Amino acid sequence: MGEFRTLYLDMDSFFASVEQHENPALRGRPVAITAVDGTNGACVAASYEAKAFGVKTGTLVRDAKRLCPEIVFLPSRHRLYVQYNLRIAAILDQMAELERIRSVDEFQLRLGGAASELDGAVALVKAMKQRIATEIGQSIRLSAGIGPNSLLAKIAGKLEKPDGCQWLSPRNMPQRLSHLKLDDLPGISKGVKAKLYKARVWDIEALYRLDPRHARLIWGSIEGERFVRALQGADIPLVTTERHGYGNSKVLAPDSRPISQAYLVGRWLVEKSASRLRRDGRVAKSFSLSVSFLPEGGASLRLRCEASQDTAYFLKLHRQLWEAIWRRHRPRQAISVSVQLGDVSLLADRAGDLFAPLRPAEKTTGEKVSELVDAVNARFGKDTLRWGENRPHHGFFERG
């Protein structure tokens, strides 16, 4: 086995690049993708032509117009970007072992054989770029990171953009990252950075030289030791984390911002989350609702509840929390809504209830009805049966 085991691919300005590929008239022009329209909105992505003017993710629309008067704003089409993600993934999986799709614009692949040596990995990246350009389009570009593990490969993938290819290993570490700050590294949050400063670890070189056992003490968990060992080049495998909740959040389109409409979007999110909970054979013991208001402010409430996977039960809790928010804040419009079914565990592990009566792992009547609704929708199409009135809100502002 050679020195390198992981290839990390980061698509360049992916959302904007897809839009430029779809519409040739946009190629070479500054483009920004928006999550919220109007002057109160923000950019969720920008083309490199727009970035040259200082427009980036999070830039307000009004500021982007000031920085780049010729910029073109487009609403996000998230499902379109997912379609391109799947097309790219199919190409990559033919050329190497696609280990994980990290996000809609990031891919992680396992290297082996000739590609585990630097020359072979670089050649593989070149071939991947060529196939994507030929089979999808010249506008779709990527930057690559090559490393002995996923952490170093990911960091390397950010070093040269766009259309770059860089590598990291003990051969060029930590000097290759001497220009970066601690919190430029993925996984170093403000809290972790504060802990490192308290331990007199001021820069990446000091972090790299740290005894991994000391890092465990600084972090307060095994993750500190894992992080430093990976930074030092050890092949630290990804840990499969246990899922603690099911939920979703939406930045609302203008016609969904009135509170009455935002409430219906929340109902739709509850239905989706509860269906996924049942699909995985789990129950939730808490329900949370968060709402951000216009022009500012917000509320976040949480309830402990019976361990359940019953959609009707969660919709009842959803209404209860909305009523509490209305009594306290009287908001007129919302900018975003989030629901979360938390404290999850397996239905198979749920204890029985002598007074219900309910045997261990037995489903309630409501849960059986929910399961039947899932079966009907799976056979005849989603939303064939719905739990009363709701308001679907796909993507950012996408319809359908």
Residue 396's pLDDT band, with cuts at 50, 70 and 90, is: very low
| Pick from 21, 179, 7, 11: nearest CA to 110 | 7
CA distance 202 to 219: 15
Res 385 pLDDT > 90:
no
| Pick from 371, 370, 374, 390: nearest CA to 382 | 374
Q: What percent of the chain has pLDDT over 90?
A: 61
Question: CATH 3.90.550.10: does it fit domain 1-169?
Answer: no
Taking a C-beta distance cutoff of 8 angstroms, is the pair 43, 34 a contact?
A: yes
Q: What percent of the chain has pLDDT over 70?
A: 94
Q: Would residue 106 show up in a list of annotated catalytic residues for this protein?
A: yes
- Binning the chain into helix, strand and coil, the percentages to the nearest 5 are 45, 20, 35
Mean pLDDT of the chain: 89
Q: Which residue has the higher pLDDT, 254 or 156?
A: 156
Peptide bond into 295 cis (omega under 30): yes
Give the pairing type, strands 165-167 and 142-147.
parallel
Which one from 3, 22, 106, 117 is the annotated catalytic residue? 106
Res 237 pLDDT > 80:
no
Do domains 1-169 and 245-380 share one topology? The answer is no
Task: For the chain, give every domain's residue range.
Answer: 1-169, 173-241, 245-380
pLDDT the model gives residue 36: 58
Taking a C-beta distance cutoff of 8 angstroms, is the pair 396, 75 a contact?
A: yes
| Backbone region of residue 233 per phi and psi (left: phi > 0; alpha: psi in -120 to 50; beta: other values) | left
Which residues, listed in sequence order, are joined to residue 73 by a DSSP beta bridge?
32
Could you tell me which residues come within 8 angstroms of residue 394 by beta carbon, excluding any fewer than 6 positions away?
A: 78, 79, 400
Domain 173-241 fold = DNA polymerase; domain 1 (1.10.150)
pLDDT in tens, 163-213: 999 999 999 999 999 999 998 998 888 888 999 999 999 999 999 999 999
Res 9 pLDDT > 90:
yes
Res 381 pLDDT > 90:
no
Question: Among 21-30, 193-202, 336-345, 383-392, which is the least confidently predicted range?
Answer: 383-392
Res 242 pLDDT > 70:
no
pLDDT in tens, 83-105: 899 899 999 998 998 888 888 89
DSSP letter for 13, please: T
pLDDT in tens, 274-312: 999 999 899 999 999 999 988 778 899 999 999 999 999
Question: CATH 3.30.1490.100: does it fit domain 245-380?
Answer: yes
pLDDT in tens, 51-76: 999 998 888 888 999 999 999 999 88
* Residue carrying the six token digits 């779809």: 22
Residue 400's pLDDT band, with cuts at 50, 70 and 90, is: very low
